[in-house]
């Protein structure tokens, strides 16, 4: 889809489309896992969307794409390292603007890969804790799901 958009909008495409596809795919996974994590932590869908927009709105400015990250205060650069957009835009800049080799984008690919896993694991842990709290709140036994699943079959 991104490749077709780049053709339509006449954006220069990277030379190695497979590397672009891999980095873009892992970016989508990391961003999705971040959204899932925030949605699990915040019970209201509107509040979760607002929090994600607060993260996404300044992301282009603080990601280092429009303003150099070395000119930003340290606390902002530390924050940008946990936003999936930052390593993705760095890899995109190397692939499209600088026409760099795939080797130069590997560290950003792994950065996104690790972010995706961290967000996934944190979301999974948060979901398990939330389920335990709900079971405790409604005084349900721990094996409630298994009992009802067996009865439905």
Which of 9-18, 74-83, 106-115 has the highest average model confidence (pLDDT)?
Answer: 106-115
The answer to whether the beta carbons of residues 94 and 19 sit under 8 Å apart is no
Q: Cα–Cα distance between 25 and 36 in angstroms, integer?
A: 16
Determine, yes or no, domain membership for 107: yes
> 114 in a domain, yes or no?
yes
Query: Is 113 part of any domain?
Result: yes
Residue 61 forms part of a structural domain: yes
Which domain covers residue 65, as residue numbers? 2-119
| Tokens of residue 112, six digits | 């996104």
Return the exposure string of 117-148: e unless at least 16 CB atoms fall within 10 Å of the residue's CB, then b: eebbebbeebeeeeeeeeeeeeeeeeeeeeee
* pLDDT tens, position by position, 51-94: 888 888 778 778 776 777 778 888 888 888 889 998 998 898 89
Is the pLDDT score of 142 beyond 80?
A: no
Domain for residue 75, yes or no? yes
Question: Does residue 80 lie within any of the structural domains?
Answer: yes
Domain total in the chain: 1
Residue 131 located in a structural domain? no
User: What per-residue confidence (pLDDT) applies to 144?
Assistant: 61
Quote the CA–CA distance of 61 and 66 in Å, as a whole number.
6
């Amino acid at each position: 889809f991104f490749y077709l958009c780049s053709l339509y909008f006449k954006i220069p495409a990277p030379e190695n489309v497979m590397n672009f596809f891999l980095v873009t795919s892992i970016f989508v996974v990391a961003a999705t896992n971040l959204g899932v994590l925030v949605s699990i932590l915040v019970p209201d869908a509107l509040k979760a969307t607002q929090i994600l927009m607060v993260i996404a709105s300044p992301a282009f400015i603080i990601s280092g794409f429009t303003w150099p990250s070395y000119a930003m205060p340290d606390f902002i650069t530390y924050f940008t390292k946990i936003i999936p957009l930052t390593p993705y835009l760095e890899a995109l800049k190397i692939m499209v603007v600088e026409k760099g080799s795939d080797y130069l984008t590997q560290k950003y690919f792994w950065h996104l890969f690790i972010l995706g896993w961290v967000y996934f694991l944190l979301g999974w842990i948060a979901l398990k804790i939330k389920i335990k709290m709900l079971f405790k709140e409604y005084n349900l036994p721990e094996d409630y799901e298994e009992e009802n699943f067996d009865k439905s079959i």
